[in-house]
Structure 1
Amino acid sequence: MQPPRLSRDNRRQQILESALPLFARYGFAGTTTRRIADTARISEALLFKHFPNKSAIYAEILAGICTADPGLARLRAEPPSTRTLVQIVRGMAHYFLQAADGSDAEGNQKLRLTLSSYLEDGEFAKVLSDKVEQVIAPIFIDSLEQAIAVGDALAGASSPRNLFWFTHHTICTLAATQLPSLPSLDYPPAAKLEREVCEYILRGVGLTDAAITAHGALDLSFEAFETSLLEFAK
């Protein structure tokens, strides 16, 4: 039986909706493109016309969740500012440290998948990084540029884009040290560690001590930034 004809957007959405419960049940490694295609009642060849590989499907799902997150939506609606920059850094640190200690099970899986990808072909990490750069990096970049413009931060030799990724990778590496049941380093408790790494990063991207104090950078309460990285993204 031929699958019903759908528009390109509707077909992509159908594939994503079919893949989501499979990833949730079997994980990334245990989900195949054949299984996704069978669940969507289409051929693998048709699936590949819309997504080049399994990593692209997974990353698209994560990006959709990230875009739909209420906390991130509110942050994206805020004008670029020093305060917004601080919220992003605090959000990234909070998310990754929660993922590392296992209190965010889904985040823990994403972090492990990304780290594994770095050690393999890098395909999943690359696709996910592209999504993080589209969704989260612009808020960081615009806010840092605004902080520089108003004198809250000093311009350095590194581009704001690179500073975003330096921030991301610093926090990811820190989180990775906390993944084993016996952490590789004896860091302080999570709340104190989060504050310290935020201070380190904010100074590193150029924020002045006066700006950090004025914006209460280390005492900001922050709402869920749970699905961003990578992202992640957070």
Structure 2
Amino acid sequence: MAPRLDSRARRRAIVDAALPLFARKGFAATTTKEIAQAAGVSEGLIFKHFPSKASLYEAIFLSCVDGDPEYERLIALPPGTATLAQMIQGLVGYFVMQVPADPNERARQRLSIISLLDDGEFMRQVYEGIRSRFLPCFTASIDAAIADGDLVPGPIDAESGLWLAEHLCEMMATVCLSGGTVVPYSCGRPELARRTAWFILRGLGLRDEAIAAQERSGHLAFVPPSPPEGGPRDDESTPERAE
């Protein structure tokens, strides 16, 4: 007999069951009955944990950011060039490396696209969460890099730079949602992630020598995530073409 789940584990199981349904059908078309069937619970139990379908939607959003040790580590770092590089590494690593390799993360990405095609409410929450939780540390690191002479300020303010970086990386993840790479990139995924990080940091105004120094420090290293057991591998081993 399978062990009974405690309240926290049961709540997590409901969130995990709802995610692929919302990602496939959208918020309005997904019923609590379908979520209950997928989670192996009653509709009554769902409403015990989540007062409404909207609160379950919100919980999926919060599961993207709350309790992530890497996220908590990043925002706790002192502002500076190294922190800026690690933030971009985390952003690029998630969208360019992790999403294509992880079915659950691909489902979250599908949910993002479905939300934007629907009423946008899920992504509105996501972006507001990024703005309130991530932007202050990002802006402080931009300012510190300028003060240290590592970054030359240009016409793009810190907040616009964060959104442009996020949008680029999110689109790069979106083109992989079919299960393979649609774009014929000239290199494997780790090198693609490295080039994306350079592109973003240059766009923010970071000097080439400062980017190179962060790369030597290991702050721009991208290691392919292990694929799910029995799952397809991504194209991270694709040989690079001659430059």
Q: Same fold (TM over 0.5)?
A: yes
Native 8 Å contact 2:19 2:108 kept in 1: no
Q: 1:97-152 deviations in whole A, cap 9, x for unaligned?
A: 23442x22322211111122111111111112222222222222211111112111
Cα displacement string for residues 40-81 of structure 1 (whole angstroms, at most 9, x for unaligned residues): 56497xx25xx95443232233332xxx22222222221011
The equivalences for 1:37-52 within 5 A come to: 38-39=44-45, 42=48, 47=51
Residues in 2 aligned to 1:78 and 1:221: alpha-carbon distance in whole angstroms: 16
In structure 2, the residue matched to 1:147 is 145
- RMSD over aligned CA atoms reads 3.0
Unaligned runs of at least 5 residues, structure 1? 1-13, 227-234
The answer as to whether partners of 2:139 and 2:158 remain within 8 angstroms in 1 is: yes
Cα contact 2:190–2:222 (8 A) shared by 1: no
Post-superposition shift, 1:185?
A: 1.0
Match for residue 154 of structure 2 among 132, 153, 156: 156
Q: Corresponding residue for 1:87? A: 86
1:190 Cα deviation from its structure 2 partner: 0.3
Q: Which residue of 2 aligns with 1:59?
A: 61
Instruction: Verify: 1:195 aligned to 2:194, yes or no.
Output: yes
**1:180 deviation in Å?**
2.1
- Unaligned 5+ segments in structure 2 are 1-6, 23-29, 37-41, 226-243
1:23 to 6, 15, 33: 15
Q: 1:215 is paired with a residue of what secondary structure?
A: helix
Q: What is the alpha-carbon distance in structure 2 between the residues aligned to residue 148 and residue 43 of structure 1?
A: 47
Distance in structure 1 (CA, Å) of the matches to 2:172 and 2:78: 29
% identical equivalent positions: 26
Checking the alignment, whether the CA contact within 8 Å between 2:65 and 2:71 is kept in structure 1 is no
Distance 1:192 1:96 in 2: 14
| Number of equivalent positions | 203
Structure with the greater relative contact order (CA < 8 A, sep ≥ 6): 1 or 2? Answer: 1
Residues 21 and 70 of structure 1, relative CA distance in 2, 3 Å threshold: same
Report the equivalent of 1:181. 179
Name the CA distance, whole Å, in 1 between partners of 2:179 and 2:21. 22
Deviation at 1:208, TM superposition (A): 0.8
Per-residue deviation, 1:174: 1.5
Contact 2:82–2:219 (CA under 8 A) maintained in structure 1: no
Structure 1 SS opposite 2:21: coil
CA change 1:72–1:223 in 2 (3 A) is farther
